[in-house]
Every structure is written in C-alpha cells, then in structure tokens.
Amino acid sequence: MDRQEAEKRIEELRREIEEHNYRYYVLDDPVITDAEYDRLMRELITLEEAFPDLITPDSPTQRVGGEPLPYFEKVEHSVPMLSLGNAFSEEDLREFDRRIRRTAGVDKVRYVCELKIDGLAVSLRYENGVFVRGATRGDGQTGEDITQNLKTIRSLPLRLRRPVTLEVRGEAFMPKGEFQRINAQKEKRGEPLFANPRNAAAGSLRQLDPRLAAERALDIFLYGIGWMEGEVPKTHAESLRFLADLGFKVNPAWRAVERIEDVMAYVEEWRQRRADLGYEIDGVVIKVDDLALREILGTTAKSPRWAVAYKFPAEEAVTILRDIEINVGRTGAVTPTALLDPVTLAGTTVKRASLHNEDIIREKGILLGDHVIVRKAGDIIPEIVGVLPERRTGEERPYRMPEYCPECNSRLVRLDGEVALRCINPQCPAQTREGIIHFVSRGAMNIEGLGEKVVTQLFQAGLVRSVADLYYLKKEDLLPLERMGEKSVENLLASIERSKQNSVERLLFGLGIRFVGSKGALILARHFGHLDRIMEADREELESINEIGPKMADSIVTYFAKPEVREVVERLRAAGVNFSFKGPRTEEAAAESPFAGKTVVLTGTLKHFSRKEASERIEALGGKVTGSVSKNTDLLIAGEKAGSKLRKAQDLGVQVIDEQTFLEMLGQEG
C-alpha cells in the first residue's frame, strides 16, 4: 500500500472507529462485536506505525499516550465558568421563579430541568471540529489543562460531526459500578479507598500520568455551550439538541417545562429515582431556556441569575458511635471526631464524623455507645444530627475531653471567647505537620506532589520540621522513602523550585497566620508590596487598611514578633523564595485613574493579560469589573473573538475599547 492509499484508508478507519465509539459509549447501541472493533483498531495502528507522519491528535489511537506530565499548565477560559446558586426548598424555587418573572416583566417563563451530575466540571475546546484542549473549572477564570486525561474518556469525541469551533461545558464522572470495582481493588491491595465517585473522578482526571486515568472507565455528559463561532442556538433546549447532533453525550433526562410547578414535579420524580441511576446525582439544575432573556438577567460575580441548583435533602442513616478520637489542627485547635460503625450514606461508606468541639457533644447529649443519626452535609461531609436516647441500654457512658494534647502532652486551654480547646505549644508536632500540609496546598504555595501522605512521610523521617525545610530537600533525601522513584522525586523537587516564584500573597497565606485568609493575604500583599514591610508594620498601620480589623492586625504583629517565625522567614529568604507582590499595586492615585468609579466588562481573549490579571489591574485603579453588560456598564474592553457582550454593548451605546486602548489607559506599550 502506497502513502496515498494508506492516507485514504486511515481516514476511513478513523471515521468508522469513531462512529462505533459513538454508538457504544454514547448511544449504548453497538452494531459490531468487540472482536470486529479490535480488528479495525489493529489495522489502524499498523498503518499509523508504517506511516507515522499521518498520525493526528484526533486519531482514536491517540486517546492514551505521551509521557507523564511534570505539572498541569494553567488555562484561561474564554468565558468564565460560574458556579450555581443553591435552592434547598420549594419556597426557594418559587422565589427564584418570582425573581426571574419580575426582572423579565412576564407572567410565565420556560425552564429546562437537568440532573445535577456529581462529578468534575470541565471545559472542552474544539477548533474546526477537532478536540484541542480540556480544562478543569479551577477558580472559574483559570483552570488546569487536563487534555490528555480527558482524551481517555471514550464517550468524549475527538472529532465532531461538523467542523465547528466552540467551547463546551460538561461534567466528567465515574459510574457507580466503576467506583465499586476500583475500591474493591484498592481494598484488596490494602490501599486507602476513594471517599465517593466525585473524588474518584476528580482524582483520576488530575493524574499526571494519562495512563493511570485511562485505567478508570470515566464518562461525561455535556450540558452547555460556553462560547461558539458563528450563529448560536436561541434556546438552551436547542443547544442540548445541537450538542447531541455534534456527537456529544447529553444526559437524556433533561426536560423543558412551562411552569414552576412542573419544575417541582421533576425534582420530586428524580429525588425518588436517583438510586436507580448508574451514576451519582445530588440535585437538579433549573435554567431559563431563552438565551436572550439570560443576557437580560445577567450574572453576579460568582453565579448566573438565570439558573439555580436544587440540592436534594441530605440522606440520613442510623449507626452506633463507638469512640471519639481527638485531632490537633495547624492552629492548635482540638477537634473531636466520632468513630462509627460503618454505614452506607449517599453511595459511600461512612466510618467517621466531625463533632466540631466539646460544646456540640454536650448540646447533643452524645454518649459513647449511643445510636446516632448521621447525614452528609451537602452530600459531602458526614455529621451527627442527633442521638436516639430511646435505644439506650444503660451501657452507654459519657465522654470527657482530654486535659492534655495527645501529640505533645501540653495542657490544653480554652482561650477567652472561643469554644474550642487549643494546644498553645508552638513546638507541637501535630500543629507543625498540619501547618506544612496547609503551606503546600493549592490555595497557598501549590506544590504539586506534596499531599498529606507525603508530608507525613517527610515529617516522620525527620526531613522537615518547618516549612522552610522543604526548600532544602535533596534528591538523596527523598529516594529512600517509600513510593519515591527517580521520576517522582525529580517532579517533586521541580514543583518545590517553581513555588519559589509565587507572588508573596501565597506565601503569606501559606504561613497560616490566624485570621489571615487568602483574601486578607492578597489585601496585605497588594498594599505593602513586600513581606519585609508587612513584618515591620505596627497595629495602627495595619488597621488603617480597609478590611484589616483589630483581630487580624494583632495576630499579624504577634506572629512576626516570634523569634522562631523570624528564623523560618530568613531561611525562606536564603532559599530564594520570592517575598514581593507580583500583581498590580493599590495606588493612591486610583481616584484620578481613567477607571475610577467605572463599571467595566471584559469580553473576548486578551493577548497581554489573563482575564483575572486584567480585572485586578482595573480594580487596583478604582474600577469595578462585572460579568455582564447592562445599562449600568460604563466601559467594555473587547479582545479577540468578542461575542454577544460586544453586540449588547453596542446596542446599549456603552463605550467600547480594544486591548491596545486598554494598554494605553494603563500607561503600557503594546
């Protein structure tokens, strides 16, 4: 077979195999045997091996391939992936409907109801019908590139049935059967079990090695178009049909309804039927069908006003509380945890539940040996709702909180105004370990590969006693540790090295100063610009900053006055960790800036900024950034591929500028 014949046959095979994938994984209607499918795939592999220059990214042979990644690249979403507001009752749904009708000025609104799949939200980009990139939701503006892992999902088409360019949103999930199979294997190998299918799906798609993701039979439902070139559907129902026509797997249970009573009937129907599904759902999503009306309704900073997620009531179960275990957190707070007889709840086995503090145990009248009612708050966190005193046998006994820290044997104290007992020994190993786990977490220094188990390993091996020790780890220190191979050690050290370049607000949050969350850290970093200036600030200077109160100011001054803290900071400095703020500084001159007091909307793709960076620059200069165009919008900044927001701004007479003008307003060159 010559090259021309091979090229023709390869294209035929790809189309035939993708059609069979679609019939098998999307329609659940195979028309050939597994042996016939394998024969087609073998022929394609043979031809591609003979003509490797004909291999393309959308070939079915490329679903799993490539070396493990050192880390995930960041991806900017073309349109923000907003989270949904929640409804928990019939009255919440009626209020949602009243607000929509009042804003729209109509008596009746058409809604689309969909099952709320319990998985991982993802964004997929196709160019001319070919899958080019997939990403996690992340913070809504920026996610992680998990393209190679998403390719392993057989129901996800690598090439669409039409050559369209668009970004679609969906939910990747792990079917119940696959979840049970994997946990059975883990149990047999003595490995920790996945907590629930959602965690299993998220963990699978965030594997740095795509081959590990491919071992798990994940699935995906697509539920919306984030952005699209050309004419877009006019309703959500049309969008779902359009996605199905392109070859995407769309959940068939969606339903368009005319009244809020029909919405509630749908909710009740699936509340009763959820256990019969082959995948987990935790509620129902209700969306306004008319896309033009959605534009009018707009969004808040976090959520669309035209949609709501109804969350099913938490499932409850009765079990026996056998004992209470004490855990010491990074701030020294002592948390009691109930140890329970295993019970199945919302599809997972529950053995533990947080009791929060001593007062909760007393208020609920909990005794060791009690029959207790357990539920999952938000279908995630197990909690004890109450006890069943009528089932007591007389053998139950009261629980007494310890007087001494179980980790360092220091006397526990209750500080004024606090309900939690606390270990105030700064050398307590539990606090140190938990502090390091917090330091490396995604919201702080974001060191890939340093999870709780690895940190515990390092701590037990005596390799780390403070966060600064992480930056002095060597390859020869790590290789002797269990499950630390050459490649994983190199990746871990590279991730630690990369974290040195983080902007200082991540370091400040990672240090774990009481009352200083991620937002407070950003405010401090933006105001002072350098960690040294924060360390030198007194209470009065700190309190003069908007949103920094007396408690936070006092905590910061007290923290940096400790000699042991100063020592850690100097070791971090010597290791080359960045102490400077890399974002835009808050300027006193903001009041005179071209953005002062203006409401600004960003649309399209900017070359010089991510959406988040542009927003921070505008806000630092006194502007307010919103997600939708309205009569209150003062300025629209239009990047490449600007869509409906640009058209709406033009219709409303809103001032529109391009990126070059934006740069000039910032005093930068293009």
Instruction: Please answer whether residues 642 and 604 qualify as being in contact, where contact means their C-beta atoms are separated by less than 8 angstroms.
Output: yes
Contacts of 565 (CB under 8 A, 6+ apart): 511, 559
Hey, how many other C-beta atoms are within 10 angstroms of the C-beta on 163? 11
Q: Which is nearest to 166 in space by CA: 193, 194, 126? A: 126
Antiparallel, parallel or unpaired: β 599-603 and 624-626: parallel
Give CA–CA dist 223/249, Å, rounded. Answer: 9
Residue 184 Cα distances to 181, 188, 203, angstroms: 5, 6, 17
Known catalytic residue at 116: yes
Instruction: Please answer whether residues 120 and 171 qualify as being in contact, where contact means their C-beta atoms are separated by less than 8 angstroms.
Output: yes
Residue 299 Cα distances to 82, 141, 284, 309, 561, angstroms: 9, 14, 20, 15, 44
Residue 209 Cα distances to 137, 152, 206, angstroms: 20, 11, 9
The two tokens of residue 218 are: 């994940």
Residue 163 exposure: Cα atoms within 13 Å on the Cβ side? 1
Q: Which of 8, 74, 108, 116 is catalytic?
A: 116
Question: Strands across the sheet with 307-311, in order?
Answer: 86-87, 307-311, 281-288, 111-117, 255-257
SS3 3: helix
Q: Which is nearest to 472 in space by CA: 557, 574, 601? A: 574
Active site residues: 116
